[in-house]
Amino acid sequence: MKTQYNAAHQVNRPVDTPCALAVSGLSWHADDREILSDISFSLARGEMLGIIGPNGAGKSSLLRCLYRYIKPDSGTMSLFGQNIALFSAREFARQVAVVLQDTPHHFELTTEQLVAIGLTPHKGAFDFTTQSDRKRIADALEKVGLTHKAGQVYEHLSGGEKQRALIARAIVQQPSLLILDEPTNHLDIRYQIQIMELLREVGISVITSIHDLNLASAMCDQLLLLDEGRAIAHGAPKYVLTEARISEVFGVCCTTEPHIQHGNPQISYFYGYSTQRHKDDEA
């Protein structure tokens, strides 16, 4: 049985740091089952928040609440000081861009055409693409390293290239907040690092769910640890990723030590769980 933690918070910021997103007391249930319970946290402008936790912890459900795909049962969410519920669909799309876990199928669209979709919240139904729009698209493609793929069919890109193209589309959207659901899923380690470094460079507030705790530790300013729909801890990686919390929430034994490059926790796991399970079964 898991220990019932009270949510722990340690976020060290200057008192005058502007807040991009504030969530208080958010709860949501589905089919009479509580999925999210009393979650509170905040995100400063320009910071990257990593949402971590085991499978079924509620990471994707929380993100869906944040980008208004589902409506929570209770709690408040404010974006740059305004209640999220008060934004029109167009206003919200101008403020928030979303990159989902599964890359969409766009068939014969070129990479450049896919990225151009990011212009939609800023254009009228009969507006033409301007020279300024084309420059914005070109700049976004350059930022994600896909200028040479602009004319290639999106479906023919590699997994890492597709993710970068979707981030370029989000950049063109010019949001103040970017939300991503496991953007590094199914990518090899090189592209995982590249995607996360790219997110740090876009210069806006970012919220992303992520499975790899070491990658989250290296790249995120703050972490929100969820377990069974509850917020267990929120703060800097050094505060959230303790051996005790990792053991309790993920059910593994580990050690942590400062990474030689960035100083945040580097986690080393112990193995032999299958062997121990067989011994327990025989006892």
What is the full per-residue pLDDT of the chain (283 aa) written as tens digits?
454 455 666 666 555 667 999 999 999 999 889 999 999 999 999 999 999 999 999 999 999 999 999 999 999 999 999 999 999 998 999 999 999 876 667 668 999 999 999 998 887 766 778 899 999 999 999 988 899 999 999 999 988 888 889 999 999 998 999 999 998 887 888 888 988 998 888 889 999 999 999 999 999 999 999 999 999 999 999 999 999 999 999 999 999 999 999 999 999 999 986 655 555 555 5
Query: Phi/psi at 180 (nearest 5 deg)?
Result: -130, 135
- Residue position matching structure tokens 């740091």: 17
Strand partners for 50: 208, 223
What was the pLDDT predicted at 3?
A: 47
> What are the structural domains of the chain?
8-242 (3.40.50.300)
Q: What is the 3-state secondary structure (H, E, C) of the chain?
A: CCCCCCCEEECCCCCCCCEEEEEEEEEEEECCEEEEEEEEEEEECCCEEEEECCCCCCHHHHHHHHCCCCCCCEEEEEECCEEHHHCCHHHHHHHEEEECCCCCCCCCCEHHHHHHHHHHHHCCCCCCCCHHHHHHHHHHHHHCCCHHHCCCEHHHCCHHHHHHHHHHHHHHCCCCEEEEECCCCCCCHHHHHHHHHHHHHCCCEEEEECCCHHHHHHHCCEEEEEECCEEEEEECHHHHCCHHHHHHHHCCCEEEEECCCCCCEEEEECCCHHHHHHHHHHC
What was the pLDDT predicted at 213?
A: 97
What was the pLDDT predicted at 160?
A: 83
Taking residue 81's Cβ as centre, other Cβ atoms within 10 Å add up to 9
Angle of helix 189-201 versus helix 159-172 axis, rounded to 10: 10
Taking residue 153's Cβ as centre, other Cβ atoms within 10 Å add up to 15
CB-based contact 24:76 (threshold 8 Å): yes
What was the pLDDT predicted at 272?
A: 83
> Alpha carbon of 142 to those of 96, 115, 167, 195, 197: distances in Å?
22, 12, 12, 14, 15
What was the pLDDT predicted at 9?
A: 62
CB-based contact 96:84 (threshold 8 Å): no
Nearest to 35 by CA among 67, 75, 62, 68: 62
Distance of CA 259 to the CA centre of its chain: 22
Q: Which two tokens stand for residue 228?
A: 């069974």
What was the pLDDT predicted at 39?
A: 97
What was the pLDDT predicted at 203?
A: 85
Task: Tell me the residue type at 103.
Answer: T
